[in-house]
Chain A
Amino acid sequence: MGIISRGFGGRRRESLPGLPPGQYLTHDFPVLSAGPTPRIPLDKWKFTIATETGEKHTWDWKEFTALPAEEFTVDIHCVTKWSKLGTTWKGVALDTLFEDVESAADYTMAHSYGGYTTNVPLDDLLDGKAWLVYEFDGEPLHPEHGGPVRLLVPHLYFWKSAKWVNGLQMINDDEPGFWEAGGYHMYGDPWREQRYQGD
């Protein structure tokens, strides 16, 4: 294990059951993104799932918000070490969006307004594991936090929960997205501390 740092005791802040290793609890909602916050007018907003054969499924704001939505409470974990427990969201489960999508691909690349990308295996989006969310704590999702719509994949580090998401591209082989190409882990499991490549 690590070398001991002389005189370091640590604070040992709350070690809670919901807290993955190396994470600390925060009560506010920090923001992390690579650039300025895009503002997307709702009448321009669109979301598209594109399969590996080029078939496209697109929803505009009206169609999207007419889909059955769920309210749910989950914990979120950022690779910069903060975690937030018991956050409440409203959104559409990816299962709902994938109902009519035919694809044999195992991976997806999420795309966002502003150009951000992140890769997520399809298995990690289905079976009630991920949502496209548009409300946080009963309020429309603020642009700073990815509004109008962000992807939410709470069981992976938060950079996988692409803000300002506007599409999913199905891909046959896993490819790195924006942070992954910069050395971050391809998968990003907080419980296994998969922060960087090789972790």
Chain B
Amino acid sequence: MKNRISWRVATVSSARWETASARTLVLDVPDWPGHLPGQHIDVRLTAEDGYSAQRSYSIASAWPGSLEITVQRLADGEVSPYLTDEVQPGDQIELRGPVGGWFVWRSSSPAPVLLIAGGSGVVPLMSMIRARGDARGRQPFRLIYSVRTPEDAAYADELRRRVRDDPGLDVHFVYTRKAPEGAGTPKRIDVAAINSHGWPPDFQPDCYVCGPTGFVETAADILVALGHDPKRIRTERFGGA
């Protein structure tokens, strides 16, 4: 049996906004054991009277490097507004992990990769893109990223830069509420988007789908209907609609 996953104290070393409602926290944890892209941590917050709440957050960064999470504010949420609006560099939070050994990408795998993100579901997929970049991986990667409006796209500049510098990486946006000029009318992710911007099933790509439950359900069903091997489709559901 492996050792127990123990709680550690992390210091927020810096923070930055990715969009108007999503914020990245850079966490400094002494003796962080490292992580694989796709793993998550559990965060525990404790109030002065001892009340505490725990939530899971995917790791956004690649290791070796830093430990970063990106939190999307839910207006009526208990934990996420604290992490986006209240926490400041120097503050401490508790966390444990890394957790999860299934929804991970290993740079040793030669297969092409299809990433499908809905909203904040892009976080663990970004970790995979960064890990591949750091390892100078030659596996072709495609990301299909569904956002409400262009302003809701996290990591937009970094993704643009990576696509420009790296012929092995493609990013396609699906806009559900408001599309930029020339990008057609807004719509939800559908067969056509995944068929034109994913990989054909006979390329045998590893597929990673992450986002709100309904989104993941839809995208994974489409992949199966298009003929992808269910064993190559990994999903991570963030809960919610």
**Interfacial residues, chain A to chain B (CB-CB below 8 A):** 1-13, 22, 24, 28, 30-38, 80-82, 114-115, 144, 178, 181-183, 195-199
Cα(A3)–Cα(B91), bound, Å: 11
Q: Chain B: which residue is nearest A32 at the CB level?
A: B237
Q: Mark B46-65, 1 if CB is under 8 A from A, else 0.
A: 11101111111000000000
Contact A35 to B230, CB < 8 A, known contacts A9-B47, A197-B5: yes
Contact A38 to B230, CB < 8 A, known contacts A3-B9, A31-B217: yes
The answer on a CB contact under 8 Å between A198 and B5 is yes
Q: Which of B94, B103, B231, B233 lies in contact with A3, CB distance below 8 A?
A: B94
The answer on a CB contact under 8 Å between B230 and A36 is yes
Interface range on chain B (Cβ under 8 Å from partner)? 35 or more
Q: List 7 A-B contacts (CB under 8 A).
A: A3-B9, A4-B47, A10-B51, A31-B217, A34-B102, A197-B2, A198-B4
Q: Chain B: which residue is nearest A26 at the CB level?
A: B239
Cα(A131)–Cα(B5), bound, Å: 32
B122 at the interface (CB under 8 A from A): no
Contact A10 to B235, CB < 8 A, known contacts A144-B217, A198-B3, A199-B4: no
Q: Chain A: which residue is nearest B213 at the CB level?
A: A31
The answer on a CB contact under 8 Å between B100 and A34 is no
Residues of A within 8 A of B56 (CB): 80
Which stretch, B107-115, B167-175, B218-226, touches the partner chain A? B218-226
Cα(A33)–Cα(B53), bound, Å: 23
Cα(A197)–Cα(B8), bound, Å: 16
B86 at the interface (CB under 8 A from A): yes
B148 at the interface (CB under 8 A from A): no
Q: Chain A: which residue is nearest B224 at the CB level?
A: A36
The answer on a CB contact under 8 Å between B230 and A196 is no
Contact A37 to B217, CB < 8 A, known contacts A5-B46, A80-B239: yes
- 14 additional A-B pairs beyond A10-B45, A115-B231, beta carbons within 8 Å, are A3-B92, A3-B94, A7-B86, A8-B86, A10-B52, A32-B237, A35-B230, A35-B234, A37-B221, A80-B56, A80-B239, A114-B230, A182-B100, A195-B42
Q: Chain A: which residue is nearest B209 at the CB level?
A: A36
Cα(A32)–Cα(B103), bound, Å: 13
Q: Which of A6, A34, A82, A196 lies in contact with B5, CB distance below 8 A?
A: A196
Cα(A86)–Cα(B163), bound, Å: 50
The answer on a CB contact under 8 Å between A196 and B99 is yes
B158 at the interface (CB under 8 A from A): no
Cα(A10)–Cα(B99), bound, Å: 24
Q: Chain A: which residue is nearest B91 at the CB level?
A: A6
The answer on a CB contact under 8 Å between A33 and B5 is no
Residues of B within 8 A of A82 (CB): 239
Query: What is the minimal beta-carbon distance from A157 to any residue of chain B, in angstroms?
Result: 14
Q: Chain A: which residue is nearest B52 at the CB level?
A: A2
Residues of A within 8 A of B4 (CB): 196-199
Cα(A124)–Cα(B30), bound, Å: 40
The answer on a CB contact under 8 Å between B53 and A10 is yes
Cα(A197)–Cα(B96), bound, Å: 12
The answer on a CB contact under 8 Å between A182 and B44 is no
- Chain B stretch 134-180: residues in CB contact (< 8 A) with chain A: none
Query: What is the minimal beta-carbon distance from A5 to any residue of chain B, in angstroms?
Result: 4
The answer on a CB contact under 8 Å between B230 and A8 is no
Cα(A44)–Cα(B235), bound, Å: 26
B34 at the interface (CB under 8 A from A): no
Q: Chain B: which residue is nearest A182 at the CB level?
A: B101
Cα(A37)–Cα(B128), bound, Å: 24
Residues of A within 8 A of B17 (CB): none
B75 at the interface (CB under 8 A from A): no
Cα(A15)–Cα(B67), bound, Å: 33
The answer on a CB contact under 8 Å between B234 and A34 is yes
Cα(A197)–Cα(B220), bound, Å: 30
Query: What is the minimal beta-carbon distance from A148 to any residue of chain B, in angstroms?
Result: 17
Cα(A11)–Cα(B75), bound, Å: 12
Cα(A164)–Cα(B241), bound, Å: 22
Query: What is the minimal beta-carbon distance from A29 to any residue of chain B, in angstroms?
Result: 9
Residues of A within 8 A of B102 (CB): 34, 178, 182
